[in-house]
Structure 1
């Protein structure tokens, strides 16, 4: 039995999320996209010979921080300091996530002053996440987790036996 990406993604949950019209879910979806954008474009901008390198490094760090914010399960399985875990747990409401993403976007918009690069895409993605969380906050929508990524406690989540067989 081979392990596939489809075993970790809940397609039915995606449809349920779309029908919910809860903007915190949409913010989380854009957060997942931002993880990829921050890391990929941060690495791509490390090859400039200017001050943009600093913003590329910041983008990579932002991607890793967003990874822990949007996928809180990683806080339990990765050895992290208590200070970092407490910092990440502060962003469990729509309002705080809105401010967090807005601050991150502003940092990337500042990179335009040095040189206009692909980090603009990162800034726009972070802004979209911030707007999504802001709409959820202003509509007083409850902060909701997405159903895209399966929970390890679900019955159909691949367990150790499947992983051992794969190895």
Structure 2
């Protein structure tokens, strides 16, 4: 299935996954961009944003779980989020962490918080509509992962 065919399925978990890919980029970029401030609080939130982005890489691209050397504990942690409700909650927690950065000072981390909230909403909508949890074959879902085995 191509990307355009996947997006035409109107499955909100696919929308959540592609928003999650955008969140990876935004968390790492805004984290790096904000880490060079003179505020200790923002430096901590920036480091957390970078960590969130790196964790989301493994959550959203299942292909990487097969090729990267990671611990069994981390692999088990990531595999907990293979349904819509757990992912919606996970993204909501990550978004709340970045929303709390506003208590220190407004910064570029708000962009990461907004898109993490969008991803959470997409996964929650998929769960509320009782849509099957689906991963994009472009990102290592059912199509690529089966070819490796």
Aligned partner of 1:27 among 7, 11, 16? 16
**TM-score scaled by structure 1?**
0.82
CA distance 1:147–1:13, change in 2 (3 Å): farther
Total equivalences in the alignment: 144
Question: What's the counterpart of residue 142 of structure 1?
Answer: 132
CA distance 1:90–1:149, change in 2 (3 Å): closer
Question: What's the counterpart of residue 31 of structure 2?
Answer: 42
Give the CA deviation at 1:153: 5.6
Question: Is 1:15–2:27 an aligned residue pair?
Answer: no
Cα distance in 1, alignment partners of residues 4 and 22 from structure 2: 18
Cα distance in 2, alignment partners of residues 116 and 74 from structure 1: 34
Gaps of 5+ in 2: none
Give the CA deviation at 1:89: 0.3
Question: What's the counterpart of residue 110 of structure 2?
Answer: 120
Question: What's the counterpart of residue 87 of structure 1?
Answer: 77
Question: What's the counterpart of residue 75 of structure 1?
Answer: 65
**TM-score scaled by structure 2?**
0.92
Gaps of 5+ in 1: 1-11, 155-167
Contact 2:58 2:78 (C-alpha < 8 Å) held by counterparts: yes
Point out 4+ residue stretches in structure 1 off by more than 4 angstroms.
none
More helix by share: 2
Cα distance in 2, alignment partners of residues 138 and 82 from structure 1: 31
Contact 1:41 1:122 (C-alpha < 8 Å) held by counterparts: yes
Give the CA deviation at 1:152: 6.2
Which digits, 9 at most, give the CA deviation of each residue in 1:78-131, with x for residues without a partner?
Answer: 111111110000000000000000000000000000010000000000000000
CA distance 1:83–1:28, change in 2 (3 Å): same
User: Looking at CA atoms only, which structure, 1 or 2, has the larger radius of gyration?
Assistant: 1
Which digits, 9 at most, give the CA deviation of each residue in 1:15-68, with x for residues without a partner?
Answer: 111210000000000000001000111000110111100000000000000000
